[in-house]
Amino acid sequence: MIFSEFIYKLEKRLQNPLPGKKAQLLMGSDIRMKDFVFKQKDDKSKKSGVMILLYPYNDCVYSTFIKRTEYNGTHSGQIALPGGKYETCDKNLIDTALRETSEEIGIDSSKIKILGQLSELFIPPSNYIIYPSVGYLNSKPFFIPEKREVEKIIEYNIFDLLKEATIKTKEFKIFTGLTFNAPYFDINNHVVWGATAMIMSEFVEILKEICN
């Protein structure tokens, strides 16, 4: 599919009702699904914005994940979307996603064109509400990772997300010592799971609609 045609179809689709929680939970673990059913966001919930950034490369549509650096925290070493916590300087959560994308992977945020947003996702363990934005660039960017936060930038063809072999299941052990099985996306031998996988699960359902 021609990049411009894909972007046109995606922008149009994002203006309609989204697949929402049902699509997100397709990539949720059993324990996480219980959290999402029984735990609800409140006035004390924190907000963050993340970015699904699309661009043309090798006659395909590409995007990027980041591998976070190792640190003493919940998301140490995990694969994630560029993004972070809402700050008072941000006009809105799209602005948060743009600012964090610029800071973490060195992209000039003024060149990113926003197509729309996906459904918000509440994360009970951290009490965060994640607001995913979808944006694009007209050419492949030159990435400059922020070394304190980003160990590696992972580029991938977004249509790999549609391949049956990309979705797998394994046992995870989180920082509390709890172990459980959960689905994940195998992207270039990187494990994309948890909140990031749930966000991408909704995006995958939209991709399926566009490609049919």
Residue of 11 and 42 predicted with greater confidence: 11
Q: Residue for token digits 């959290």?
A: 35
Edge to edge, the sheet with strand 179-187 lists 167-173, 179-187, 190-192
* Amino acid identity for residue 177 in this structure: G
- Minimum mean pLDDT range among 24-38, 115-129, 143-157: 24-38
Instruction: Label residue 68 left, alpha or beta by phi (over 0 means left) and psi (-120 to 50 means alpha).
Output: beta
Residue 39 pLDDT more than 70? no
Query: What's the pLDDT score for residue 179?
Result: 81
Nearest alpha carbon to residue 182 among 202, 196, 163: 196
- Residue 181: CATH number of its domain: 3.90.79.10
Q: Total structural domains in the chain? A: 1
Cβ–Cβ under 8 Å, residues 106 and 143: yes
Query: What's the pLDDT score for residue 210?
Result: 95
DSSP state of 88: T
**Cα–Cα distance between 156 and 159 in angstroms, integer?**
9
Q: pLDDT for 100-138, tens place per residue?
A: 999 999 999 999 999 999 999 988 778 899 999 999 999
Mean pLDDT value across residues 141-147: 95
Percentage of residues in the chain having pLDDT higher than 70: 90
Residue 180 pLDDT more than 80? yes
Residue of 21 and 42 predicted with greater confidence: 21
Mean pLDDT value across residues 173-180: 74
**Cα–Cα distance between 177 and 17 in angstroms, integer?**
38
Position 29 confidence tier, pLDDT thresholds 50, 70, 90: confident
Position 32 confidence tier, pLDDT thresholds 50, 70, 90: low
**Cα–Cα distance between 44 and 46 in angstroms, integer?**
6
* Tokens representing residue 81 in the block: 């979307």
Q: pLDDT for 52-99, tens place per residue?
A: 999 999 999 999 999 998 766 555 678 999 999 999 999 999 999 999
Which residue segment(s) compose the domain that 43 sits in?
A: 3-211
